[in-house]
Amino acid sequence: MAKLFGTDGVRGEANVELTPELAYALGRAGAYVLTKTNHHAPQIIVGTDTRISKDMLQSALISGMCSMGARVYPADVLPTPGIAYLVRKYKLDAGVVISASHNAFQDNGIKFFNREGYKLPDIIEDEIEYLIKNNLDALPRASGYDAGYISACDTALSDYVEFLKSTVPDLNLRGMKISVDCANGAAYKAGPALFSDLGADVLPIHNNPNGFNINDKCGSTHIESLKEHTLVTKSDAGFALDGDGDRLMCVDDNGNILDGDQIMAICGWYKKRRGELVNNTIVATVMSNLGFFLMAKEKGINIEKTNVGDRYVLERMLLTNAALGGEQSGHVIFLEHNTTGDGLITALQILKAMRETDASLSELNTIMEIMPQITYNAIVDNGKKREYLSHPVIKAEIDALEEKYKDDGRVLIRASGTEAKIRVMIEGRDRDMIREDAERVGKLIEMILS
Q: What is the pLDDT of residue 2?
A: 64
| Domain locations in the chain as residue ranges | 5-154, 159-364, 373-449
Confidence bin at 3 (pLDDT 50/70/90): confident
Q: What is the pLDDT of residue 325?
A: 98
User: Where are the alpha helices (H) located in 98-200, listed in sequence order?
Assistant: 122-130, 156-166, 190-197
d(CA 18, CA 242): 21
Name the active-site residue from 101, 220, 235, 329: 101
Confidence bin at 39 (pLDDT 50/70/90): confident
Confidence bin at 182 (pLDDT 50/70/90): very high
Indicate the angle between helix axes 20-35 and 54-66, nearest 10 degrees.
40
Confidence bin at 199 (pLDDT 50/70/90): very high
The closest alpha carbon to 34, from 79, 65, 77, belongs to 65
Average pLDDT across the chain, whole number: 94
User: Where are the alpha helices (H) located in 121-259, listed in sequence order?
Assistant: 122-130, 156-166, 190-197, 224-232
For 208-235, what is the mean pLDDT?
97
Say whether pLDDT at 387 is over 90.
no
Is the Cβ–Cβ distance between 157 and 353 less than 8 Å?
no
- DSSP annotation of 136: G
Domain 159-364 CATH (choose: 3.40.50.1110, 2.60.40.2470, 3.40.120.10, 1.10.760.10): 3.40.120.10
The closest alpha carbon to 56, from 242, 243, 246, 211, belongs to 211
By CB atoms closer than 10 A (0-12, 13-18, 19+), residue 46 is buried
The count of C-alpha atoms lying within 13 angstroms of the C-alpha of 7, restricted to the half-sphere facing its C-beta, is 16
The closest alpha carbon to 179, from 119, 257, 239, belongs to 239
d(CA 66, CA 384): 38
The closest alpha carbon to 405, from 380, 378, 371, 379, belongs to 371
Q: Which amino acid is at 353?
A: A
Say whether pLDDT at 382 is over 90.
no
Percent of the chain with pLDDT over 70: 100
**Strand 43-48, strand 71-77: pairing:** parallel
- Domains 5-154 and 159-364 fall in the same CATH topology: yes
Say whether pLDDT at 351 is over 70.
yes
Q: What is the pLDDT of residue 27?
A: 97
Percent of the chain with pLDDT over 90: 84
Lowest mean pLDDT, pick from 216-230, 267-281, 394-408: 394-408
C-alpha distances (whole Å) from 236 to each of 179, 183, 264, 357 are 8, 20, 19, 14
- List Cβ<8 Å contacts ≥24 apart for 158-164: 159/86, 159/89, 160/78, 160/79, 160/82, 160/85, 160/86, 160/190, 161/190, 161/193, 161/194, 161/197, 163/85, 163/89, 164/190, 164/194, 164/342, 164/344, 164/345, 164/348
Lowest mean pLDDT, pick from 77-91, 182-196, 327-341, 399-413: 399-413
pLDDT digits (tens, 9 = 90+) for 230-281: 999 999 999 999 999 999 999 999 999 999 999 999 999 999 999 999 999 9
Q: What is the pLDDT of residue 64?
A: 97
d(CA 203, CA 182): 11
Q: What is the pLDDT of residue 408?
A: 76
Strand, helix or coil at 409?
Answer: strand
Q: What is the pLDDT of residue 38?
A: 80
State if pTM tops 0.75: yes
Say whether pLDDT at 209 is over 70.
yes
C-alpha distances (whole Å) from 348 to each of 194, 231, 360 are 9, 20, 14
Which residue would you say has higher pLDDT here, 121 or 224? Answer: 224
Fold of 5-154: Alpha-D-Glucose-1,6-Bisphosphate; Chain A, domain 3 (3.40.120)
Is the Cβ–Cβ distance between 296 and 268 less than 8 Å?
yes
Q: Helices (H), strands (E): how many in the chain?
A: 14, 19
Is the Cβ–Cβ distance between 267 and 349 less than 8 Å?
yes
Q: What is the pLDDT of residue 282?
A: 98
Residue range 373-449 in CATH 3.30.70.100: no
Q: Provide CB contacts within 8 A for 276, sequence distance 6+.
A: none
For 162-178, what is the mean pLDDT?
97
**Strand 237-241, strand 177-181: pairing:** parallel
pLDDT digits (tens, 9 = 90+) for 286-327: 889 988 998 999 999 999 999 888 889 999 999 999 999 999
Please indicate whether residue 101 is annotated as part of the active site. yes
**Strand 149-150, strand 332-334: pairing:** unpaired
Is the Cβ–Cβ distance between 148 and 47 less than 8 Å?
no
C-alpha torsion angle, residues 62, 67, 68, 69 (rounded to 10): 90
